[in-house]
Amino acid sequence: MTFEWIKIPQSLLTLFIVLNYGLLLTALVQKIAARAGRRHGIPIWQNYVDLLKNYGLRTNITHGVMYYLGPVFRLSGGVGLLLFVPTIYGSEMFSNLSFAGDLILALYFIFFGTLGMALGAGESGHPHAAIGVSRGLSQVTAAELPLALAVFSVALQYHTLSVTDIVAAQQGGVAHWTLVTNPLAVVAGMFSFLGSMMRSPFDVVLAPQEIPIGPPTEYHSSYLALMQTNRAIFPVAKMVIYMNLFFGGASSWAEFCLKIFLIYMVSALVGVVFPRFRVEQSIRWFLTWAVPVGVAAILLV
Whole-angstrom distance, CA of residue 163 vs CA of residue 245: 7
Query: What is the chain's mean pLDDT, rounded?
Result: 87
Please give the average per-residue pLDDT across 194-220, as a whole number.
72
CA 75, 30, 202, 68 dihedral sign is: positive
The burial of 212, by beta-carbon neighbours within 10 Å (0-12 exposed, 13-18 middle, 19 or more buried), is given as exposed
Whole-angstrom distance, CA of residue 4 vs CA of residue 92: 12
What would the pLDDT profile of 163-195 be if each residue is shown by its tens digit?
999 999 999 999 999 999 999 999 999 999 998
- For residue 23, pLDDT beyond 90: yes
Q: pTM for this one?
A: 0.90
Torsion of CA 101, 103, 107, 109, to 10 degrees: 20
Q: Decide if 73 contacts 1 (C-beta within 8 A).
A: no
What would the pLDDT profile of 243-283 be if each residue is shown by its tens digit?
999 999 999 999 999 999 999 999 999 988 888 888 889 89
Q: Where are the alpha helices (DSSP H) in the chain?
A: 2-36, 46-55, 65-83, 103-121, 129-158, 163-169, 178-181, 183-196, 215-218, 221-246, 253-273, 279-285, 291-300
With vertex at residue 173, the alpha carbon angle to CA 167 and CA 177, rounded to the nearest 5 degrees, is: 50
Helices 65-83 and 103-121, packing angle to 10 deg = 160
Q: Decide if 70 contacts 119 (C-beta within 8 A).
A: yes
Q: Decide if 40 contacts 34 (C-beta within 8 A).
A: yes
Q: Say what the pLDDT of residue 209 is.
A: 57
What is the count of structural domains for the chain? 1
Q: Decide if 219 contacts 67 (C-beta within 8 A).
A: no
Question: For residue 208, what pLDDT band results from cuts at 50, 70 and 90?
Answer: low
Question: What is the span of the domain harbouring residue 211?
Answer: 2-300
CA distances (Å), 108 to each of 6, 102, 112, 113, in order?
Answer: 25, 10, 6, 9
Please give the average per-residue pLDDT across 66-87, as a whole number.
88
What would the pLDDT profile of 121-167 be if each residue is shown by its tens digit?
777 777 777 777 777 788 888 999 999 999 999 999 999 999 999 99
Question: For residue 40, what pLDDT band results from cuts at 50, 70 and 90?
Answer: confident
What would the pLDDT profile of 229-252 be if each residue is shown by its tens digit?
988 999 999 999 999 999 999 999
